[in-house]
Amino acid sequence: MINGYDRMKNWLWIIGLFFVLSLHAEDGHRLWLRMERNAVPADVRLVEGTRRTDILDIASRELKDFWKGEGRVLLCVSKGGATRDGFTIRKKGQDMELSSASDRGVLYAAYDLLRRQQTGDLLSDGAVVTEMPSYDIRILNHWDNPDGTVERGYAGRSIWRWDELPETVSPLYEEYARANASVGINAVVLNNVNAKPQMLSTGMLRKVAVIADVLRPYGIRTYLSVNFASPKALGELPTADPLDADVQRWWKKKTKEIYCLIPDFGGFLVKANSEGEPGPQDYGRTHADGANMLAGILAPHGGVVMWRAFVYQASSLDRACQAYEEFMPFDGQFHENVIVQVKNGPIDFQPREPFSPLFGAMQHTQVMPEFQITQEYLGQSIHTVFLPTMWKACLDAETYRDGGGTVAEVTQHRVGIHSRSAMAGVANIGDVVNWTGSDMAQANWYAFGRLCWNTDLSVAQIAEEFLKQTFSTDEHFVEPVRQLLLRSWDTAVSYMMPLGLHHIFAFGHHYGPEPWCAPPNTRPDWLPKYYHRADSIGIGFDRTVRGSKAVLQYHEPLATLYGNLETCPEEYLLWFHHVPWEYVMRNGLTLWDNLCYIYNSGVEDAWEFVDFWQKARPYIDSERYERLLKRFERQAKDAEWWRDACLLYFQRYSRRSIPADCLPPVHKLEDLMKFKLHIDNYTVADMDNLP
């Protein structure tokens, strides 16, 4: 018999357990914004002469709720403050003064202060911190479709609930805006670059306006991707020729309609004449004709055109050369409010590419880098790959153009008086509870914002900030996991595509290896063989002067450095050269042996990450720990899958044995070649069913 006392004791136990569990339940939804709310609001005031705005209200609210400092926080917008979203923080005795020329700058200062509080990077008395963002426009590109799917999205469906809008406004929009503002992101393109014409219908624009209203007080401007054929596709005109007067009138009217609904609308992102999307070339016009037509219409409203340079045809010209060939003739012909948006590498977001030669080449055009935050080619929402290491490799690369300059420097430089600098990242965000599928993939969203804000930040610092805010400040946790993040890109490249190999993915979904993949009637430049060119002599793509001549698109000394087998950086060896299997590399081993050892080290590293992660167990909540452990284990198995698929397949050409001190393969090539992955709306449906 249980008496009343026991029953009460049992209940207390259950309630207590529930309390403890709920304290430790971490579904990942709070991202890096896991501050404890104040019981008594902090003392936050606007200084005299600073007028309230929606943005300042948010800055005040955040500080009142979460700032734990003793003194007052004074917010000040004044003409003399830092411009272009920059800010100054001064510690005066117990008080903090946050000042800027704009309310946006003050908002960023508020988040800077809260970040310092979270990471323990506190300001000493009398300290003065001034920050200026590296880029004017720090923009996320969503590849979200009006039907709620997300192209290359691995985190559920789109967060934009078009079917509920404009009446129902999901709370996600504001949470999303806040997360972006906290890392300095000030612009978003809501929809896929493969843009549906219907995005410009009046009904859709009304919905877009509601989202823009939620984003605005967080300092974020809304942009749209547009389908270049919209006037025709919406059935309103027989043509979309950019030089046709009716077409121009149509865009003018549409643009006016947009600005009536969204007065601070940012502008258009355009993917034209690329992968089947319409564009000016359909009418015998050029990229410059198309971009300038839209730019002319947007200019009086203060809008910009981001025109993508991701173009390639199924032609005999090496795909890596095509964007340069198509865009260079128009250098200097684009209007000041056109920004040519260039992917970091000349092909397509591969695990490792040399930087696109367009960055160094287009000297009279505003050019912006586009990075992919979503891990289309890097293990999607399963593998942990900390991407700022890769982005910085591009940003820090010296272009050797006239006067010199790294990719970061040349893209931050403003080409015209009215031009703006910008950096774009393809978002990895969806409507799953933790936003990004993998809890660790949040790090790449965070890092993108931080790097746009300051390209000089070190990858180590970004990793540390993220880990401390998102998981734990305990050094026993931070140090090993930071090391893991810092190594993760190199590791992924090692087990996927070392030494400059590229595009040897499974067809379509791009998860997992398929270097043999050759479905009938497929464009050759969509198939791995086009890129790896393995044969009995060697492997790699000859882009030297004897081959496709892609090296000549780089300034000297890079053209010679890349073009010479002896001097080419080994990480790009097979990107630029077809190299004999027996070629002796700098470490004295043959290419084949090197390939084997690098794949092998990638696998070893991936298993080591599992160990690292297991050591993190005592320091974080079990929910995120377990979710990530499953992923780290799968990542290591995938590394084996990659190694076995690539080495066993290439071995058919090299006819050499795998060195005896490498781990033996765990798979048979025949089995891997038969395996077909089930992908459900771009997401690996069942991790346990992979090889």
**Residue 502 interacts with ligand GCW (CB under 6 A)?**
no
Q: What gap in Å lies between CA 184 and CA 178, rounded to an integer?
A: 10
Query: Backbone phi, then psi, for 498, in 5-degree steps?
Result: -75, 170
Q: How far is the CB of 152 from ligand GCW (least distance, A)?
A: 5
Choose which of 32, 111, 135, 349 interacts with ligand GCW (CB under 6 A). 349
Q: How far is the CB of 509 from ligand GCW (least distance, A)?
A: 9
**Residue 271 interacts with ligand GCW (CB under 6 A)?**
yes
Q: Dig out the tokens for 27 from the structure.
A: 């579904």
Distances (CA, A) of 481 to 200, 240, 387, 468: 45, 52, 15, 11
E-state strands within 451-499? none
The DSSP annotation for 121-181 comes to -PPPTT-EEEE--S-SEEEEE--B-TTS-BTT--SSS-S--TTTTTT---HHHHHHHHHHH
Q: How far is the CB of 285 from ligand GCW (least distance, A)?
A: 20
Choose which of 111, 135, 143, 160 interacts with ligand GCW (CB under 6 A). 143
Total residues in contact with ligand GCW, by rule CB under 6 A: 11
Identify which of 628, 602, 374, 635 has the alpha carbon closest to the alpha carbon of residue 477.
628
**Residue 631 interacts with ligand GCW (CB under 6 A)?**
no
Q: What gap in Å lies between CA 601 and CA 599, rounded to an integer?
A: 6
Q: How far is the CB of 472 from ligand GCW (least distance, A)?
A: 35
* Residues ≥6 apart with Cβ < 8 Å to 310: 271, 274, 323, 341, 342, 343, 348, 370
**Residue 194 interacts with ligand GCW (CB under 6 A)?**
yes
Rg (C-alpha) for the chain, rounded Å, is 26
Query: Backbone phi, then psi, for 579, in 5-degree steps?
Result: -115, 135
Q: How far is the CB of 187 from ligand GCW (least distance, A)?
A: 18
Choose which of 193, 390, 485, 574 interacts with ligand GCW (CB under 6 A). 193
Q: Quick one: which H or E segment has residue 491?
A: helix 475-496
Catalytic positions, written as ranges: 275, 348, 376
Residue 150 or residue 672: which is nearer to ligand GCW going by CB?
150
Restricting to residues 300-319, name those near ligand GCW by CB under 6 A. Answer: 310
**Residue 471 interacts with ligand GCW (CB under 6 A)?**
no
Residue 318 or residue 353: which is nearer to ligand GCW going by CB?
353
Query: Backbone phi, then psi, for 219, in 5-degree steps?
Result: 80, 20
Residue 135 or residue 310: which is nearer to ligand GCW going by CB?
310
**Residue 151 interacts with ligand GCW (CB under 6 A)?**
yes
Residue 189 or residue 452: which is nearer to ligand GCW going by CB?
189
Choose which of 348, 409, 542, 638 interacts with ligand GCW (CB under 6 A). 348
Q: How far is the CB of 54 from ligand GCW (least distance, A)?
A: 33
**Residue 525 interacts with ligand GCW (CB under 6 A)?**
no
Strands 87-92 and 128-131: antiparallel
CB 261 within 8 A of CB 209: yes
Choose which of 104, 138, 152, 503 interacts with ligand GCW (CB under 6 A). 152
**Residue 270 interacts with ligand GCW (CB under 6 A)?**
no
The C-alpha angle 448, 452, 457, rounded to 5 degrees, equals 85
Q: How far is the CB of 229 from ligand GCW (least distance, A)?
A: 16
Binding residues (CB under 6 A) for ligand GCW: these are 143, 151-152, 193-194, 271, 275, 310, 348-349, 376
